[in-house]
Amino acid sequence: MGEKCIQLLHFSVVLLVFYGNTPAVGVSSEDKIRCTEREKQALLQFKEDVADYDSVLSSWGSEEDKRDCCKWRGVRCNNRTGHVTKIDLSSSDLSGKISPSLLELQHLKYLNLGGNYLGGGNQIPVFIASFSRLQYLNLSGNSFLGPIPHQLGNLSNLRYLDIRSYYELDGGNIEWLSHLSLLRHLSLTHVNLSQATNWAETISSLPLLKNLRLQRCQLPNVVPPAHPFNSSLSLEVLDLSDNDLSSSIDSVLFNLSNSLVDVDLSVNRLKGLIPDSLGNMISLVKLDLSFNHKLDGGNIEWLSHLSLLRHLDLSGVNLSQASNWAETVSSLPLLKILRLRLCQLPNVVPPAHPFNSSLSLEVLDLSDNDLSSSIDNVLFNSSYSLVDVNLSFNPLKGLIPDSFGNMVSLVNLNLGWNQFEGGIPKSFSNLTHLQTLFLDFNNLTGELPEFLKGNSLQVLNLEGNKLSGAIPESIGQCSSLEELVLDDNSLNGTVTKSIGRLSKLRRLSLSQNMFSGSISCICTSMGVNLSFLDLSNNQLSGGFPDCWGRFEFLSVINLANNNLSGKLPNSMGSLKYLQALQLRNNRFHGELPPSLKNCENMIFIDLGQNRFTGKIEAWIGMHLTSLVVLSLRSNKFYGGIPENICHLNQIQVLDFSQNDLLGELPKCFNNFSSLVQNDDFKVPNIFFYWEQYNAFAARGYIYEGNALLQWKGVEREYTKNLQLLKIIDLSSNKFCGKIPKQVATLAELVSLNLSRNNLTGQIIQEIGQMKMLESLDLSGNRLSSEIPTSLARLNYLSVLDLSNNNLSGKIPSSTQLQSFNASAYSGNPRPEGRRTCAEVEVDQVEYPIPAMPVFSRAKSLPGDCLSLFLSSHLCLCHLHAHQGCTCKGVLDLSHVGCIIHLSLE
């Protein structure tokens, strides 16, 4: 501070002198040109070689008024000799290469090019090693690649060296560093030091080093008993975070006791007990040992000696033995930041209060522990100073106390995923600085309080409680609100007009409540910020809003399971970034507006169970080529399927069932490439980041689309495993003609349902190529001829329905095929005069064998239970039953025509 004052003083004196001698300036200026011509030319060459988009170097030039290069931005000269001694062009958005012309600047002491884009993927230029007077070198954050030149070891005057990289710089063995004996500050963050096996010794040879940052360097382990740092080091800042160190703490920190102020060893694999000797590091102000999952904090007795500590992070360290953790922490008078997330913290036993009132804690994170006491025991007395509190993911019980209203400094409060009961305290209205409030997944009851005053609140998440009543009108005053998440409660009333006034809203999520009335309020003043709208599973009614032009960045619309009606308006075409449109189970009608073709980012469309009509238009296949899920299930679409539907090469779920579609099936199914090939690297995009088009994206939220599908004969809503389901369901239409042979190329398809159509011809011979098929329903058609033998190759098939066709002949023999419900084959002509021979393997029979033995068949379908009913036209040749499985079903042999061989072990 003293230094700054002096500089200021100096500056103002100079100014006075300058104004005092105005007439003389012109005359004496020539004498004052200090810059040497050769150095000036060198700098101009440097400027020539870089791209300077921000015109940072506009003061650099050969014009008359720019003659003195010592006055150029970022350049300083020795005021006696005129030689350039300092270049500081940090964070100037420069890119390109560093001109070797700089070599001319042999008097350079300070070179800071950090935070630019220089380097262009080349090595750090070797000529930098020739600046023998250099004391400060900063090349951090540029785009250099390849090995660091060992010649930098020539820079024996260096005090500061920062080559922190964002790319892959290769540090080699860093022995050259040992020549830099004056070094005080060294940062090699993100430099690959995996070859530097002697890094610890090399560092130890730098006697003046105070600040060492080797984050994410792939440092080789320190092998005990070697201690990396010898005792003569006076290190103050040590950052070895995010390496893969797996030794004990002792072997890393030994001997460094007294000087260390700031230690970060987070994100390693350090193991063993944290030694008591850590208590000798009495100068520590910041200690971060988080995310070393094999580290055991013991009783953290050592902590009580670190009385200067302000910032402590032991997240992920096992503290289950630290029964006095609360008292210990309370004995640290200066502590401001405490993070003990995922520490297996022992419960706080009443009446002990962990944090005594003298603490000036601001950040407290005790999330993901097993704290099950009342919150009073945890937070009592620590009220006034707290700014950020995260107690989520504990089983904390009881009421949220009124005393929360005293914590008037709170900005972020997360009490989500606990077991709190009762209402939200009225005292929350005192928390006028609150920006984020998470009370999600508790057991809270009562109405929403009028606590939503003040305009700082940005995120309100009350999902998964038992809150009831209406949303108070006062919510309209939360003018900063960006996320309002009230899903899965028992709230009712209308989606009030005041919600429509929340113009900053990005996420509005009110699903699974009992809201009723219209949703026209979203057309009030919400707009360009809205990115996620989920009002599904309510009792909303009325028409579909027609104001979509204002929601340019909307990416998810979910209105499923309501009573909404009307047509989809043309204005939907302006939703360029829409990725999911879920309108299932409403009373929408009419044709789809052709403007929907503009929504080319669409991934997920579920319009099932409405009264939509019209043809399946060609623009779907031509424009919506990112579609992964397309369900038009149970509507009134008519006409044929256009060939270009096969352009949907990302499609995984195609459901047109229960419509009035007719004609032949397209012969291009082999173009559905995500159903043809398994491409693990192109994981379907059903899970997407709803804010990805929002420039301010700060918080993330993964949206999982859900769809109602028929799977193995049961209609259900799928969310979690949707990305694994690869389904084509065209059942219950009027399709005719043969099953196109291209269907057989869908080797990744898991379920194919073509039932209840008017299909003729044979079952395609190549069906055995669909090796992932688990469910095949071809029932209710007019398929004829023999069942292809290749069907026996479908090892995963567990649901097969071929009933009600004209199939004949032998059912191919395989372990799978005979284990189906006989109804799978019923309604076909009975095989004349011969009996089909089946071989069934059964893995467990429970004793005593009842008339219908209980069995399990876990062999090829783990965890999947089947019932086995064999009808009289089948004949069992061999039945082997083994013990030792768990999954049970029913084996009904009552109708089997004959059993040739039965063995039950």
Contacts with ligand NAG by CB under 6 A lie at 79, 90-91, 112, 114-115, 126, 129-130, 138, 140-141, 151, 154, 160, 162, 168, 170, 185, 187, 192, 194-195, 218, 402, 405, 408, 419, 426-427, 430, 443, 468-469, 492-493, 734, 736, 758
Q: Nearer to ligand NAG by C-beta: 158 or 303?
A: 158
Please, what is the minimum distance in Å from the beta carbon of residue 20 to ligand NAG? 17
Q: Nearer to ligand NAG by C-beta: 128 or 281?
A: 128
Assigned token pair, 748: 């990744």
Assigned token pair, 702: 């993964």
- Residue 568 neighbours by CB under 8 Å, 6+ apart: 544, 583, 588, 590, 592, 593, 596
Distance, in Å, from the CA atom of 626 to the CA atom of 694, rounded to the nearest integer, reads 20
| Cα angle 812, 818, 824; round to 5 | 95
Q: Nearer to ligand NAG by C-beta: 408 or 676?
A: 408
Q: Nearer to ligand NAG by C-beta: 218 or 613?
A: 218
Please, what is the minimum distance in Å from the beta carbon of residue 892 to ligand NAG? 33
Please, what is the minimum distance in Å from the beta carbon of residue 492 to ligand NAG? 4
Pick from 328, 280, 691: which is nearest to 482 by CA? Answer: 691
Q: Nearer to ligand NAG by C-beta: 218 or 257?
A: 218
Please, what is the minimum distance in Å from the beta carbon of residue 13 to ligand NAG? 11
DSSP assignment of 597-612 equals GG-TT--EEE--SSEE
Q: Nearer to ligand NAG by C-beta: 468 or 524?
A: 468
Q: Nearer to ligand NAG by C-beta: 30 or 832?
A: 30
Please, what is the minimum distance in Å from the beta carbon of residue 399 to ligand NAG? 12
Q: Nearer to ligand NAG by C-beta: 59 or 90?
A: 90
Q: Nearer to ligand NAG by C-beta: 115 or 573?
A: 115
Please, what is the minimum distance in Å from the beta carbon of residue 386 to ligand NAG? 15
Q: Which residues pair with 188 in a beta bridge?
A: none
Please, what is the minimum distance in Å from the beta carbon of residue 129 to ligand NAG? 4
Long-range contacts, stretch 87-91, CB < 8 angstroms, 24+ apart:
87/111, 87/112, 87/113, 88/112, 89/56, 89/57, 89/113, 89/116, 90/114, 90/115, 90/116, 90/138, 91/115, 91/116
Please, what is the minimum distance in Å from the beta carbon of residue 192 to ligand NAG? 4
Q: Nearer to ligand NAG by C-beta: 326 or 431?
A: 431
Q: Nearer to ligand NAG by C-beta: 37 or 402?
A: 402
Three-class secondary structure of residue 76 per DSSP: strand
CA distances from 889 to 142, 818, 855, 893 (A): 64, 15, 5, 13
Please, what is the minimum distance in Å from the beta carbon of residue 121 to ligand NAG? 15
Q: Nearer to ligand NAG by C-beta: 420 or 532?
A: 420
Please, what is the minimum distance in Å from the beta carbon of residue 226 to ligand NAG? 21
Q: Nearer to ligand NAG by C-beta: 115 or 812?
A: 115
Please, what is the minimum distance in Å from the beta carbon of residue 377 to ligand NAG? 18
Q: Nearer to ligand NAG by C-beta: 472 or 569?
A: 472
CA distances from 641 to 181, 571, 635, 666 (A): 77, 26, 15, 7
DSSP assignment of 832-845 equals SS--EEEEEEE-EE
Please, what is the minimum distance in Å from the beta carbon of residue 858 to ligand NAG? 33
Q: Which residues pair with 806 in a beta bridge?
A: 784
Q: Nearer to ligand NAG by C-beta: 224 or 395?
A: 395
Helix %, strand %, coil % of the chain (to 5): 20, 25, 55
Distance, in Å, from the CA atom of 574 to the CA atom of 597, rounded to the nearest integer, reads 10
Burial class (CB in 10 A: 0-12, 13-18, 19+), 684: buried
Residue 447 DSSP symbol = B
Assigned token pair, 312: 């402590």
Residue 374 DSSP symbol = B
Please, what is the minimum distance in Å from the beta carbon of residue 461 to ligand NAG? 17
Distance, in Å, from the CA atom of 770 to the CA atom of 739, rounded to the nearest integer, reads 14
Q: Nearer to ligand NAG by C-beta: 430 or 511?
A: 430
Q: Phi and psi (nearest 5°) for 621?
A: -70, -30
- Residue 281 neighbours by CB under 8 Å, 6+ apart: 253, 256, 257, 258, 260, 263, 306
Please, what is the minimum distance in Å from the beta carbon of residue 36 to ligand NAG? 17
Q: Is the dihedral of CA 127, 130, 134, 136 positive or negative?
A: positive
Q: Note whether 194 and 168 are within 8 A (CB).
A: no
Please, what is the minimum distance in Å from the beta carbon of residue 170 to ligand NAG? 6
E strand spans, 39-171: 50-52, 75-77, 84-88, 94-96, 110-112, 117-118, 136-138, 146-147, 160-162, 169-170
Q: What is the helix (H) or strand (E) element at residue 17, kind and residue range?
A: helix 2-20
Distance, in Å, from the CA atom of 805 to the CA atom of 465, rounded to the nearest integer, reads 51
Please, what is the minimum distance in Å from the beta carbon of residue 494 to ligand NAG? 8
